[in-house]
Structures are given as C-alpha cells and as structure tokens.
Chains A and B, each alone.
Chain A
Amino acid sequence: MMIRKDTLLYKLTQLHWFLLLTIIALAMFGSLILFSAGSSAHDLETGLLKIDARYAIDHISRFIVMLGVALFVALLPLRLWASLAYPGYAVGVILLVGVDVAGNIVNGSQRWLTLGPLTLQPSELMKIAVPLAVARYYHQMFAAGRNGLWVHVVAFIMVAIPVGFVLKQPDLGTSLMILGAGCAVIFFAGISLRIVGGLLVLVLAMAPVIYFFGLHEYQRERIQTMWDPNADPLGAGYQLQQGMIAIGSGGLAGKGFMEGAQKELEYIPEQHTDFIFTIVAEEFGFAGSMVMLAAWAIAIVQGMSIAGNSRSSFGALAASGFVSTLLLYVGINIGMVIGLLPVVGIPLPLISYGGTAIVTVMIGFGLLMAVHLNRANDMTLRGLL
C-alpha cells in the first residue's frame, strides 16, 4: 500500500527511528539508574531491600511528555522553526535581561525568572536558541553570497551577547555550553582554521589571566581540587573524591544493580543529578559505562550524518550546533565526574534527574529529527520568508 506523501502517517514512517530508539534506550537506562539511586539492596538502617522509585517515575514521565514535544517539533515544517529562530533569540535575550533585573536568586545565583505561574530559566532556552539563530543567520548570508570574515565576527557577537548575560548570573557551566554551541556553528559555517587555531592559542595564553582575575574564588577552588582532590577532603574535593572511589571500586563488571555502597553512606552530594554517572560506573562497572558511552557516540554520529544529509545550510548548521551541545553535555559531565575537568553544574542528559536539561535536550532532538524529515528541502531564502 502506498502512503500519500503529504500525510502525517507518512511523515512518521520517515522519522529517524534509529536515533529515536537510541534516545529511548538512554532514557530507560536513566530511569533504571535513578531507581537504583533511591533504592538499595541492603539498606544501611535495616539491612533489607529498600525501594524508592520516585526519581525513576518522575524521570520517565518527564521523558514521555518531552518525547511527545520532540515528535511535535519534528513533525512541524523546519521552515517554521527557521522563521522562529530570530524571534526566539530576541525573546531569549530580553528574558536574560529580565533575569538580570528581576530574577530570583537561588543558591546565590540569579537564573530564574518568574512570570505569573511560570518559572523560567532563560539561559537553558538559549542553548537551543543561539545555535538556531546563528544557523539562520548563516543560511541568509550564504544565500546572499557573503562569506567574508566580518560575517563570522557578527555571528560571534550574536553568541557573545547571551553568553555575557549568563556569565553574569553567574552560571559558568551554561555560559560555556552556549559559547561552545555557538562557536561550533561558526566553526561548521567555515571560519578559517587558521583563525580558529589563532584564537585557541590566544585563549590558552589568556588562561592564567582569566584564572586569576576572571574567576570567582569558588571557581578557582574547584579547579585546584581537580588537580589535587586530597588537598581539602572535607571541602570542595569531598564530592569528587568520593565519586572517584565509587567509580574506581566498580571495576570491570560493577557491583551489581542496587548494590552500590557509596550512595548508601550519602557520601556523594547530588548523586542523582550531576553525579549520576558515579552510580552507573559503580554498579555496572567499566563495561556498563562503555555501553552507555557507546549509545551516546551512536547518537552523536547519527546527528552528524543528519547534518551532512541536509540540503539546506540552516538544517545542516542547526543540526551540527545541537550535536555539539550534546557532545559538550556528555563530555563535560563525565569529564568532571571522573576528575578530568573542574566541577561545573552540568547534568548528564537523559540520565540525570531534573526537569530543565531534559526539556532542552528533547527539543534539540526534535529539531534534529525535523532536519532529517526536511533534508531534501534546500529552503531558499524566498521560500523561507
């Protein structure tokens, strides 16, 4: 039976099912780990099996809702998202200004904005909005045949404005993520490698200056801890050191589901959010960690192939921008947990407990699938506007 090409059903059959299944598998795995985070095979107090599925149920229900949102995003025309890129970016910047002026201070950081019943974290929105707007911008420039250095300079300014606001909140982790995603789009848009190299050298040269003058005291502390977690076992290094003990003691095959010992002693703060990987590594060992990393590698390679197959430069750049965000998420989160990077508050998407990251990531996956569905459309400027 032939399915008519303009129906929803046809579009569904054309979805990137392999990517979709990878995402679902990762989220299921996340629920399993969160189930273990709340539960224990031998409870510290009673010695009995203790079950607490609250985190897992929350996680999976959020995922299901967001999966619906992602499919909705994927099935709408990509052209619509392209035309929303600038307005979205503008709204995002306005909200960031709003946060700066009237935001709520949570944990000493001004990130949240209350609008009536809604509490928004605009910086999270910018992880998607910035690469989208920059992709849209390049799409327009390429169509007009412009590709001089100034084009990239303007793009960088588009990135730098929101990054500046987020840095001021202060939220180093998110600002680095936005900067990374934005710069990745500029990189994919073809900025000269010589300039990239030059900038990298410059950043490295500036590093000591930034370290001593650009960072807050607590941020410097975190970097010191990374070099020597034993220096301050009661303070900043505590979490990291206990996390490493959990990971290292997991060994090749891990201690087994719900058998993790470190979580029981409550040695690792935020173990169900940013430090969730310690449970993966302790209970499923090196083997389990590798399987999870492989799933993420598959998602990233799939994302890049979607970008490569897109005929429109907007699609290709938006897709690459989001895939870069994913790589940053996974790389920074695991890197910090295993002591390769300083501790910044970045969760492990689809695995960590928490509502905000899953919204960002699932909207991103929705866009990625929209790019895939619209890969044949080159979206000339006329058609776009």
Chain B
Amino acid sequence: MSRDWKNLFPSRRMIFLTGGGVVFLGLTARLAELQLFRQQEFETKAREVRIKLEPAPPHRGTIYDRNGRELASSKRNFYVTLRPEVASAARDKQVRQAEIGDVIERVGRLLRLSDAKKRSLLQDATTPPAHRDILVADDLTWEEFAQVNVMAPELNGISAEVGELRSYPLQAAFYHTIGYVQKANEADISRMVDFELTAVGETLETPEGKTRATTVRRLYKHPAMRVGKQGIEAYGEMALKGEPGNERLLQNATGRVIDRLPSEDLAGKPGADVVLSIDAELQNFAIQRFAADPATKAGSAVMIDIATGEVMCMMSTPAPDPNLFVSGIASAPYKALREAEENPLYHKAYDGVYPPGSTFKIVVAAAALESGAMHPNETVHCSGKAWYYNRFYNCWRPEGHGTVNLHTGLQKSCDCYFYRAAEKTGIEEIAKVAKRFGLGHRYELGITGGKAGVVPNNEWKLNAPRIKERWYPGDTISAAIGQGYVTATPFELAVMCARVAGGAAMPDPHLIVNGIRVPDPTITPMGEFKPGVLEAVRAGMYAVTSEGGGTAIRSGELDPEGKLPAPYTNARMAGKSGTAQVIRLDNLRDARGKAISNDKLPWRLRDHALFVAYAPVDKPRYAVAVVIEHGVSGSSTGAPIARDLLAHALRTDPGAKKAFVPKARDLAAAESGKQPA
C-alpha cells in the first residue's frame, strides 16, 4: 500500500465532490432559469406557436353504378371548428363557460345556429379535454365560410376549414343499398379500432397495436371524418376510407392554424373506388314506376342478369335522402321516418321477409317432378276446397278449377293441385329443391343487413326457437301454397326465378363488381335437374302470362310493337304471381260472417302482392322479383310492374355492356380492403 496515495486520496475526493457540486449547481441554476424565471414564457409556448401533427382524413372512395355514374362521391365541404382551450384559457369553470359561450354565441349569429345547437356545442366544448377540435357546422355556403374566415381573428378558437364531404347525387334511390356516412360515435370508433387491429393482426396489448388504435381514434375524431353507418358505406368502410395521412399545421398563440406546412411525405392513400352492377337508370325507373300509383307506394324490386349473375336493380321504396344524414339528421324528422307505416328505413328487398305465397308453387312443382311424386300429366280435381287431415283447405277460387295438371295448375295457380302435389312429395323433398333454387340463404352482397327466409322441414321445426315441435302433415299443405312457415326475401325470390330460367349454369348473384371482394362460399349450388323438370315449370310460368286463363294474362307482352332489336323482338315474359296474407283473413269476418275483402281493410292489413318473372321466354336474360307491400293482388298489381321493369331492361339492355372500371388509384387498397366479418 502506497503511503503517498493514502495521503493524496482525501484531497482527490474533495476535488471530485467539489466538481460534482458544481455539476449539481449548474443543473439547479439551469432548472431555476427554465422553471422559475422563464416559466411564463414556456407556459405560453406550451399553448402557442407549435407544429401540430394532425391526422388528415384521406379521400373516400367513390361508389359508381355499372355505367360509371357516381352514386356516392365527395364534394367540397366548408366547415368551422372550435378549439375550447383556445377559446378560453381560464381555470375557473364559470369563467371558462362564459368565455366559450360568448364565442359560440358570436359564431352562432354568423351561421344562424339554432339555440339547441348552441347549447349542445357549449356542453361539448366545456367537457374536457380542451385540446381538440369540435365541429361547429359544416356543409356551409362559400359566403358563410368567408364570413367566418374574416371574423375568425376576433373569435378565439374558431377556424374555418375546407375539406371533403360525402354526397349522394341520386338521393333516395340508393339509400338502402349504399347507406350513408355520419360522424362516428364512440361505438363506431371502438368497432373501427377492432377492425383495424384484426386487419393488421395486432392487439391492444402490443405497443404497435396501441399506436394503431390511437391513430384510428384520432382519425375518426377529426371534424371532417365520417364513418359508414350502413349499406356498402358501412360494409366497405375499411376499403373506402383509405389510409389516413398526417398534416403539419403551424399554430399561433391563439391556436389558430396560421399555416399548413408541406406534408407530402405524410400524405395518406385515397380509398378504393367501388363499382356496383346496378344500372342507376333502371333503378330510377323502378322507383318512379312504384311511385306513379298510390297503391304501390311501398315495395321492392330486384332484377338479376341471368347470364352474369349481376344485380341490375335492387330498390326499396319509399326511401329517405341519405344526404340528410351526413351532417346529422334532427330527431323529429328521424322519428317520423322511423314511425312511418311504409317503413322507409327498411331495406325491403334484402331485409324484408315475406310469405312467398303462390310464387312458392314453382318450388313445389319442381320438387314434385324431380322426386317423381307426380307425373306432369297426372291430374287432380279441384272443387274449390280439399280435405286433408281432418280439415278443409280452400282453393283461392271458391268455385274450383275442375281437372288440373301441373301445367294448368301453375297457369291458374290452383291451390288444390299443389296441396296434392305437396302431400305426395313431402316437405323434405320440397325443402331440398327450395334450397337448390336459392331460398333460405342470406346472400352476402357487400352491404350490411340482409336476411335469410325460412325453408322449413322437420329438422328446422324441431330446432326453431319458440316452436320446437315435430313437423305435422298439415304443415306441408300450408307450405304448398307458400304460407305457414315458409318465408323468403324479394332478393331470394329473384334468385329463384333466375335459377329456374337460367338452369344450373346461372352464375351466383353479386352486387359489387369492382373495389371490394365479397365472397359468399356458402351459396348452395342448384345442380342439374332431371330432364324436363325445369322445362315443365318454365312452360307453366309461360302459360301464366300467355295462355287463356293464366293469372297474369294481360302482362305477357314486352314488345307489342316489335320495335326491339333481336333477340328481344316481340319478347314475352314468363312469371308467377303470389299473394301473401298479412293476417289470417279466415278469422276476420264481417257482421254477417262473410270474409272481408281486402279493399275494406286498412292499408297496413291488406295482403302483399308478389310477382316473379323472367324474359325473354325463349332465351331468358333478366329475372325480376317484385313485392308490393299491401298491394293486394300479385297478378293485377305485381305483374304490370314486373312487365314494365323487364320491358325497360330489354330496351336498354344494361347487362350487355361490361361494368365500368375506375382508374386504379390504388389496387393494393382494394385488395386488402375486405372488412373482417
């Protein structure tokens, strides 16, 4: 041990500690400078000129019809936001409320906001956090926007901004199918966070997942951002919305955005464009056709191109204008829409489940032939009623049809014939054929909602909640004429008709041809029928419109003047009418015990009118299903509409032209845009 060092060490320690003291003093001095002497400066700075990274909503993808007509597009949007922390920096709640209230009052005068709107704004603005932008009003005129912009320096926290807003040029025509966008609420945001995380395979547990979730939340909180609420807008949200980017904003001491700094490096990606197979012109024609007669004020129609499976028309009427929803609809008009007896908010073509009535006889006829239970020429005597299992079942024609075979049974829609056919065939065979015709299936079309009708059989009845019973033979008799447990949506009926007309080669139906992939692997293929089965059914459907005694004999002609080019010259349609009871009329008798006829009933209790048809008869191209709610008679109310729609389709032949292909903005986005179910 060196004695020299022993003596030296204490002095070295002293030098070190002195040095350490100097370091700590230096740190203290600097902290005192920053925190004590320059606190004011930094406190201001904490709120003032700073570069803010703000999520920038991407351009939302456009939705087109098959001819490239814009159904949902983006228009320029002038909007005004309020940033509460800038409107008032006061700590005292009363003072804050007063100061923010004053700003809202003054901007409210410029924009003529209602008192209720001002109150809800104040409520929102005084709820923490204060460092976010609240949407004051959007979809402003240029004059309103300019006025706010001029006044903005005196309105603390108010900014006038330009962005994009969704617009639906065809208004009500596509409300149900395309849906609409709205400001996202908490539930929407959580849903989108889940989708986004599932899509990239992250969870909230990982830091990456957390960052991603925060980005999604901030994006949907942006005043200019909207979220798809229903229809394609909701189903395709992930693809339509695009990838959000960021924008560098330079803010001054009052929080006003004084400059937008170059942000190209942070730009997002625009959303994918979506193309529907629908022909907007045909859709509009159908809507006008329904609207032309008060008797057909509510209903739906679906038309499918038999050659391609593309949906040409899918309308439900009446419908509200989706543009009303984009900036938020007031509660009174919304309540009126919800409570209207025509159910305007309801997608009748896709969500509406009706007893198919006599249109179901198509299924029973095919099943009877396919199973061999009936021979086409086998006859049944109809006396107006038939006795099965200890009760009478009535034919719709009390005086009866006399001797009926399959052909005349379909033509005249004789119930007695189909009671017998169903009894001999059995419900299991009927259900099998119903499934093969495409009933009992919710078709995935790329829009929200959608129902599957019921194709009942013994197993279904045993498992059906609230029934849980075995199948009784009498149930088969009711099913024979499409009553009882059988139900179907207009969309399913259109598929049924298309399959009957097109045969096994008919492609699966689809609505979206470009932009989002909508696979539906659960569709039951039709498969081949025995030779002659479909032909016999088609002949029966042809007789409905074209042979004396057919139920829709007045509606067969599609080209009476022979003006259409080949192969549609002098085209005729084949079809089948149906009437679906809303209530059991048997139980509703007048004072003298006679059944009450439909025209004496209030509108909402009258029978639904159905008609399915295809054309041209010899070379089927288009199949249509029409359901008129409370339209009373399928053959007299439904058939003319089906005829007009098919005639229009043959005239314009929308299916002949390939669907529009948008300029590929970003194919990758379209590919990966499938929303997890």
Contact = CB atoms under 8 A, between A and B. Distances in A.
A331 interface: yes
B127 interface: yes
B4 A190 contact: yes
- Best-surrounded residue of A184, A249, A289 (most CB of chain B within 10 A): A249
- Best-surrounded residue of A145, A248, A262, A380 (most CB of chain B within 10 A): A248
B248 A289 contact: no
Contacts of A316: 9
A313 B1 contact: yes
Interface string A307-320: 11000010010001
B16 A188 contact: yes
Interface in B120-160: 127-129, 131-132
Contacts of B377: none
B26 interface: yes
B28 A44 contact: no
Report whether over half of chain B's contact residues are helix, strand or loop; otherwise say mixed.
helix
Interface string B43-61: 1011000111000000000
Interface in A250-302: 250-252, 261-262, 264-265, 267, 281, 285-286, 289-290, 293, 296-297, 300-301
A245 B39 contact: no
B32 interface: yes
B17 interface: yes
B596 interface: no
Contacts of A324: 16
A105 to B, nearest CB: 21
B31 A286 contact: yes
A268 to B, nearest CB: 12
Given A289-B35, A308-B9, A45 B2 contact: no
- Best-surrounded residue of A45, A246, A247 (most CB of chain B within 10 A): A45
Interface residues of B, number: 44
Given A188-B12, A304-B17, A247 B4 contact: no
Contacts of B12: 187-188, 190, 320
Interface stretch (A26-34, A67-75, A332-340): A332-340
A4 to B, nearest CB: 29
Interface in B18-41: 20, 23-24, 26-28, 30-32, 34-36, 38-39, 41
Contacts of A250: 35, 39
A323 B2 CA distance: 22
B132 A247 contact: no
Contacts of A20: none
B218 A45 contact: yes
Interface in A321-364: 323-324, 327, 331, 334-335, 338-340
Contact of A45 (B9, B28, B221): B221
Contacts of B472: none
Contact of A297 (B8, B24, B45): B24
Nearest to B218: A45
A259 B128 CA distance: 13
Contacts of B43: 248-249, 251
Interface in B287-332: none
Contacts of A286: 31-32, 35-36
Given A233-B51, A251-B43, A304 B35 contact: no
B5 interface: yes
A252 B39 contact: yes
Report whether over half of chain A's contact residues are helix, strand or loop; otherwise say mixed.
helix
Contact of B16 (A143, A244, A320, A378): A320
A47 interface: yes
B658 interface: no
A245 B42 contact: yes
Nearest to B8: A190
A43 interface: yes
B28 A188 contact: no
A54 B232 CA distance: 40
Interface in A156-210: 184, 187-190
A308 B34 contact: no
B565 interface: no
A248 B36 CA distance: 8
Contact of A142 (B5, B17, B217): B5
B663 interface: no
B1 A245 contact: no
B13 interface: yes
B42 A247 contact: yes
Contacts of A246: 46
Given A247-B35, A251-B43, A327-B20, A188 B248 contact: no
A101 interface: no
B148 to A, nearest CB: 26
Interface in A188-238: 188-190, 233-234
Given A47-B129, A249-B46, A338-B34, A290 B28 contact: yes
B13 A304 contact: yes
B129 A252 contact: no
Nearest to B10: A308
A248 B38 contact: yes
Contacts of B261: 234
B214 interface: yes
A42 B42 contact: no
A247 B34 contact: yes
A319 to B, nearest CB: 10
Contacts of A47: 127-129
A237 B258 CA distance: 21
A261 B132 CA distance: 13
Interface in A119-151: 142-143, 145, 147
Contacts of A313: 1-2, 5
Given A248-B43, A304-B13, 7 more contacts: A44-B132, A234-B51, A250-B39, A308-B13, A316-B9, A340-B26, A378-B1
12 contacts: A42-B128, A47-B127, A145-B2, A184-B16, A190-B9, A248-B35, A248-B43, A248-B45, A250-B39, A265-B52, A293-B24, A293-B28
